[in-house]
Structure 1
Amino acid sequence: MHVVVTEYNDNWRQMFREESRKIKRIFVDELIDIHHIGSTSVPGLQAKPIIDIMPVVKDIEKIDSFNEQMAGLGYECMGELGMKGRRYFRKGGDNRTHQVHVFQVDNKEDINRHLAVRDYLRTHSEEVKQYGNLKENLAKQFPNDITAYMDGKDAFVKELERIALRWYRNI
């Protein structure tokens, strides 16, 4: 997968809204909420242009019954893909455009981690700048190695998650 990090794009919000409407029509009564997460959800943050969507559902086991409908939207159904209690879908193959991370409503740890990082970055511009610069530099250093790119962000992201979660619990 080619690693491309771009400047923030205002169209990402609309892309999230459009795709979330389609997902809502599939998950219907199972859906409790749906969130735009990840770097494209943070105004001003440089990002890989991939829209991350986090539906929160009543029963994660029932999501497997929607795999065919999600495939109809162009998603590859990946199951848990290394994260217990999640259902992961990706769209676009090597030119990925969307990722869907589905969690059951009582999975507060994963849900709060994603929301905490998003909300923390939305209110802390210095960290947005640091994170964006790191991602831009890693993308230049590893343009054809997504694993090296992800490994290069790992320590920063873990520390960001720790700080963001502490902040999130206090707001």
Structure 2
Amino acid sequence: MSLVVAPDPNWPAQAKAEADRWCHSGVSGLVTVHHIGSTSVPDLPAKPIIDLIPVFESEAAMDAARSKIEALGFEWLGEFGLPGRRYCRYDDPETGKRRVQAHCYVDGSDEITRHIAFRDALRADPALRAGYAAIKDKCAALHPGDMHGYGDCKSDWVQKAEAHAINALATKETS
């Protein structure tokens, strides 16, 4: 079974519904919630998991939100290997399948910039999007059912594309 599925036009609506759920749950210090990752890019095959970046006004606010986030049904895993991030995941209670991953950061984090720049570059550039789809298909075929192998396989391509997107954004901002 492939980890990657055909694009689903419902992914943006699902992400918006989840972001709205966060925004209306009384989570203090929440600034905004961005939809990132492949499900945020029209016509891009993806793992059928919505990735979000909830942005908080401070690290203290982010940590204080834990109980509210857990009340939404998310498992709180803390930094989970990435300093400054708070990673939370939501699995469908009926199927046990992962539905949403939330990568929480403090407003101004370079990680937010990196994710948004890559997303926006993929949305704007059909050739980049096609290249990413090809590498995703290749890696999914080489590592069926192995999320870590799949991620490692596409990592170099993604890092280069992200660096290019960030440089393009910096150039645009200074011109």
TM norm. shorter chain > 0.5? yes
Aligned to 1:97: 99
Aligned to 1:50: 49
Give the superposition deviation at 1:137: 2.0
**Corresponding residue SS for 2:55:** strand
Query: Within 5 A, what are the aligned runs for 1:15-164?
Result: 15-26=14-25, 28-92=27-91, 95-107=97-109, 109-164=110-165
Residue identity opposite 1:97 in structure 2: R
Alpha-carbon distance between aligned partners in 1 of 2:60 and 2:2, rounded to the nearest angstrom: 33
Alpha-carbon distance between aligned partners in 2 of 1:136 and 1:96, rounded to the nearest angstrom: 20
Alpha-carbon distance between aligned partners in 1 of 2:98 and 2:147, rounded to the nearest angstrom: 12
Alpha-carbon distance between aligned partners in 2 of 1:62 and 1:38, rounded to the nearest angstrom: 24
Matched, 1:168 2:169: yes
Give the superposition deviation at 1:106: 2.8
- Deviation larger for 67-76 or 5-14: 67-76
Is the 8 Å Cα contact of residues 62 and 106 (structure 2) preserved in structure 1?
no
Is the 8 Å Cα contact of residues 60 and 87 (structure 1) preserved in structure 2?
no
More helix by share: 1
Residue identity opposite 2:160 in structure 1: E
What is the CA RMSD across the aligned residues, in angstroms? 1.7
**Corresponding residue SS for 1:129:** helix
**Corresponding residue SS for 2:46:** coil
TM-score between the two structures when normalised by the length of structure 2: 0.89
Give the superposition deviation at 1:71: 2.1
Residue identity opposite 1:80 in structure 2: E
Task: Give the % identical residues.
Answer: 34
Residue identity opposite 2:161 in structure 1: L
Give the superposition deviation at 1:28: 4.2
Aligned to 1:6: 5
- Deviation larger for 22-31 or 121-130: 22-31
Higher relative contact order (CA closer than 8 Å, sequence separation 6+): 1
Give the superposition deviation at 1:150: 0.9
Give the superposition deviation at 1:153: 0.5
Residue identity opposite 1:61 in structure 2: A
Is the 8 Å Cα contact of residues 78 and 87 (structure 1) preserved in structure 2?
yes
**Corresponding residue SS for 1:139:** helix
Q: Which runs of 5+ in 2 are unaligned?
A: none
Count residues with an aligned counterpart: 169
Q: Which runs of 5+ in 1 are unaligned?
A: none
Is the 8 Å Cα contact of residues 118 and 162 (structure 2) preserved in structure 1?
yes
